[in-house]
């Protein structure tokens, strides 16, 4: 009698599990990025970010070799308004999710060109902040998230090495002043830094490789 009950319970459980799986449906399939379409869609970005994503204009970021997950996140946040930027919001307004993914993975495939630190008087200060933070103000080292050589961590923290100092400075100031609001962590860090420290660490980052 016991074995019959066990068999019935086992059969009932199997039906329930199968029914749950059918109700849930198959896992969504994410299309593989199309790099050719990404390059084509990026054509509208070339004026500011250069043909290969290595911007030559200091106020516009270099995008080549950036982690695609980070780029996708930023594009979505420009589109939603979570990251406020009138120019970028207009540029991404017509992009689909596939467009964003294709562009981001294409940019990730392009090698980044190195940059250079220019401020000899503050490079040591910039290095101390990047590698050791500012302990007396509870500011963590930049390297702890963006890695010692500025390569960042995929899907978590962006690549920083070689980025234009002017662009990095502007973003830190925007975090500090509450203009850029899409990273609480960066807002908290920048809020404790003065202009000289921001400029020093931005210049140091430009020379990382």
pLDDT confidence of 60, banded at 50, 70, 90? very high
Same domain, 73 and 148: no
pLDDT value at residue 40: 98
Residues 161 and 138 grouped into a single domain: yes
Do 154 and 94 belong to one domain? no
127 shares its domain with 202 = yes
Is residue 117 assigned to a domain? no
Sign of CA dihedral 47, 52, 57, 58: positive
pLDDT band at 95 (very low <50, low <70, confident <90, very high): very high
The CATH code of the domain that includes 153 is 1.10.760.10
DSSP letter for each residue of 18-86: HHHHHHH-SPPPPPPP-HHHHHHHGGGGHHHH-TTS---STTS---TT--HHHHHHHHHHHHHTSS--H
Whether 50 is in a domain gets the answer yes
User: Of 53, 73, 108, which one is at a domain's C-terminal end?
Assistant: 108
Q: Encode pLDDT of 69-91 as tens digits.
A: 999 999 999 999 999 999 999 99
Give tens-digit pLDDT for 6-40.
443 444 434 334 444 444 555 556 679 999 999 99
Residue with the two structure tokens 């040591």 = 124
Q: What is the average per-residue pLDDT within 94-117? A: 97
Instruction: Using the 3D structure, point to which of 52, 77, 108 is the last residue of a domain.
Output: 108
Give 161's DSSP letter: T
Residues 96 and 151 in one domain: no
Q: Is residue 69 part of a domain?
A: yes
Give the model's pLDDT for residue 1. 44
User: What is the percent of the chain with per-residue pLDDT over 90, rounded to a whole number?
Assistant: 85
pLDDT of residue 174 exceeding 60, the answer is yes
As a whole number of angstroms, the distance between CA 121 and CA 179 comes to: 29
Q: Tell me how many domains the chain contains.
A: 2
The residue with greater pLDDT, 18 or 41, is 41
My answer on whether 151 and 101 are in the same domain is no
Q: Which pLDDT does position 5 carry in this prediction? A: 40
What is the domain extent for residue 178?
123-206
Residues 102 and 127 in one domain: no
Out of 16-25, 156-165, 176-185, pick the least confident.
16-25
3 domain residue, yes or no: no
What's the confidence (pLDDT) of residue 11? 43
Q: Tokens 């660490």 appear where? A: 201
> Contact, 187 vs 139, CB < 8 A?
no
């Amino acid at each position: 009698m016991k074995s019959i009950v066990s068999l019935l319970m086992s059969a009932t459980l199997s039906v329930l599990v199968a029914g749950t799986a059918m109700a849930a449906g198959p896992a969504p399939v994410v299309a593989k990025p199309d790099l050719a379409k990404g390059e084509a869609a990026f054509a509208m970005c070339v004026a500011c970010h250069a043909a290969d994503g290595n911007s030559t204009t200091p106020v516009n970021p270099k995008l080549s070799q950036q982690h695609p997950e980070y780029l996708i996140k930023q594009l979505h946040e420009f589109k939603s308004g979570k990251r406020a930027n009138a120019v970028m919001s207009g540029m991404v307004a017509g992009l689909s999710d596939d467009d964003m993914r294709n562009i981001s993975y294409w940019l990730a495939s392009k090698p980044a060109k190195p940059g250079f630190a220019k401020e000899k008087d503050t490079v040591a200060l910039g290095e101390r902040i990047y590698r050791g933070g500012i302990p007396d103000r509870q500011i963590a080292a930049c390297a702890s998230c963006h890695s010692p050589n500025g390569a960042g961590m995929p899907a978590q923290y962006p690549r920083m090495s070689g980025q234009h100092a002017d662009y990095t400075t502007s973003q830190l100031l925007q975090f500090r002043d509450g203009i850029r609001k899409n990273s609480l962590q960066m807002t908290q860090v920048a809020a404790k830094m003065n202009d000289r420290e921001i400029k020093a660490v931005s210049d140091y980052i430009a020379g990382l490789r």
